[in-house]
Amino acid sequence: MTSSQFDFSSWGLESSIAKGISSNGWEKPTEIQREAIPPARKGLDVVGQAKTGSGKTGAFGIPILESCEPLGHPQAIVLCPTRELAVQVAREMESLQGSKGLSIQTVYGGTDLEKQAKKLSKGCDIVVGTPGRVIDMTKRGHLDLERISIFCLDEADRMLDMGFFPDVLWILEKSSSRQQTLLFSATFPEEVLDAAEEFMTDPVHIMSDDMEVEIPEIDQYAIHIGRMNKLWALGRIICNMKDGDQMLIFANTKRMVEILTERLGKFRIRATGLHGDLSQNKREKVIDSFKQGGEEILVATDVAARGLDVDGITHVVNYDLPVDTETYVHRIGRTGRMGRKGVAWSFVTREETSQIEKISSTWSLSIEFTEAPSLPEGMNRDPIGKREDWDEVSDIFGMVKVRVPLGKGDYSKRDLADWIIEQARVPDIAIGEILQNDEETDVEIHVDKVAYVMDVIKAREFNGLSLSAKIVGP
């Protein structure tokens, strides 16, 4: 049977679940679902490579829903790295179960413990939670892990990143009736493979070629830009967005998320910030509103954006380049979901050039260096003005190379230096090396004086000649 003919009905799923799937509007399983669901339904352990957006929740959700019954005690647990992801997974499983009547409960930190305990005490068949709170609830006697038979780890690589593994192992040990383990991860660092080896039995591996991360079909661009003009470039990208486009901007710190949201606001560009300091309630509101298209631009840290599942994201912007290469892949995976086209932009300062090279070589990505996009037709002013950014063109000693059209034979280096010092009234030390060839001369000028010196060079005559002056980089 070819994949194009293949649909959910050929599996003979329980009718409530089959109805749940079709009322979700899903017609055919995604690749990971097609490969993971059959072995998981047989009760085998599965290690699957799947990123958010590939349909992985259905891949583990459907077999879990099938094997649980509305008995009122936990039979399956799904562990996720963040509460947002836990909420999302629980929601999706809720809609997939149709009328089966299972109680699916979320257990995550940052919310009222007593309320969660109360809900659990009413009976729960499937737990979806973050490790810390699951442990807490178990220790307090509100959660019984002893009759868990399916254990599922979602985004295992990120859980590892976030230092959750000791907690995961604790929960595994308490799940003493465990019969089946499902593990999903976008990437497979050594530690995830080791962990899988340790607690899984002959798992079926579902990997894409060479265990490479699946890179979504998206255009990736990078712009060489100094810190001062990132906002200008962002303005250019924003003003080229089409109706209905949505943008997720990544900054590396909470503070930067705040600054950026505020600055954009000053230029009348509405953007909402999402970071870990916001209350759970507020975060959920922001995410919901973004999902429903109520917000066009979201600025987030990596942690806050984990598991953010919004199909409408068309643009990802790395306002700050991520520190590690894997985060880049996670970030750009927020766009181009479910086969849609997306675009990712990265701002790269001079010092970060080697970092972007490392990212593209590690994951064999093609990231094209380009200029910021032009203003769209009919627009003749930048939404955010460009500023002179001398820091980007100065060397580590703060010197900027300025080129003037004077050849070797025309004058001596000393003449030129003296003329600049006298005309611009700058100290000797503001002039660095002078390099000449037959047609041109490059003069190093200190960054603090360069703007003024360039104005002077252009305005006054040198031995009766009007000169041009242009920056040629550090």
Closest CB to ligand AMP among 94 and 219?
94
Q: How far is the CB of 255 from ligand AMP (least distance, A)?
A: 29
Residue 244 has, within 13 A of its CA and on its CB side, a CA count of 3
Closest CB to ligand AMP among 131 and 216?
216
Closest CB to ligand AMP among 85 and 445?
85
Long-range contacts for 354-360 (Cβ within 8 Å, ≥24 apart)?
355/321, 356/222, 356/321, 358/325, 359/321, 359/322, 359/325, 359/328
Residue with tokens 């255009």: 219
Report the b/e string of 366-387 with b at 16+ CB within 10 A. Answer: ebeeeebeeeeeeeeeebbeee
Q: How far is the CB of 201 from ligand AMP (least distance, A)?
A: 25
- 279, 348 in Cβ contact below 8 A? no
What CA–CA distance (Å, rounded) separates 85 from 183? 15
Q: How far is the CB of 42 from ligand AMP (least distance, A)?
A: 20
> What backbone phi and psi angles, to 5 degrees, belong to 290?
-65, -45
- The Cβ of residue 466 has, within 10 Å, a number of other Cβ atoms equal to 10
User: Which token pair is 466?
Assistant: 């009007």
Q: How far is the CB of 32 from ligand AMP (least distance, A)?
A: 8
- The Cβ of residue 408 has, within 10 Å, a number of other Cβ atoms equal to 13
- State the pairing for strand pair 461-462/465-466: antiparallel
What CA–CA distance (Å, rounded) separates 406 from 343? 44
What CA–CA distance (Å, rounded) separates 26 from 147? 32
Closest CB to ligand AMP among 3 and 370?
3
Q: How far is the CB of 311 from ligand AMP (least distance, A)?
A: 6
Closest CB to ligand AMP among 47 and 424?
47
Closest CB to ligand AMP among 24 and 466?
24
Q: How far is the CB of 271 from ligand AMP (least distance, A)?
A: 24
Closest CB to ligand AMP among 248 and 356?
248
What CA–CA distance (Å, rounded) separates 354 from 287? 34
Report the b/e string of 82-96 with b at 16+ CB within 10 A. Answer: bbbbbbbbbebbbeb
What CA–CA distance (Å, rounded) separates 438 from 236? 40
Contact footprint for ligand AMP (CB under 6 A): 26, 28-30, 33, 52-58, 92, 309, 311, 338
Residue with tokens 């040990």: 173
Q: How far is the CB of 356 from ligand AMP (least distance, A)?
A: 27
Closest CB to ligand AMP among 326 and 444?
326
Q: How far is the CB of 362 from ligand AMP (least distance, A)?
A: 23
Which H or E run includes 147?
Answer: none
Closest CB to ligand AMP among 297 and 308?
308
What CA–CA distance (Å, rounded) separates 321 from 250? 8
Q: How far is the CB of 136 from ligand AMP (least distance, A)?
A: 26
Closest CB to ligand AMP among 66 and 352?
66
Helix axes 230-239, 254-266, angle to 10 degrees: 60
- Compute CA distances 404 → 5, 452, 459, 463, 465, whole Å: 69, 15, 13, 14, 11
Tell me, what amino acid is at 218? Answer: I
What CA–CA distance (Å, rounded) separates 149 from 165? 20
Q: How far is the CB of 59 from ligand AMP (least distance, A)?
A: 7
Q: How far is the CB of 197 from ligand AMP (least distance, A)?
A: 25
What CA–CA distance (Å, rounded) separates 386 from 6? 54
Closest CB to ligand AMP among 323 and 338?
338
Closest CB to ligand AMP among 89 and 457?
89
Q: How far is the CB of 56 from ligand AMP (least distance, A)?
A: 4
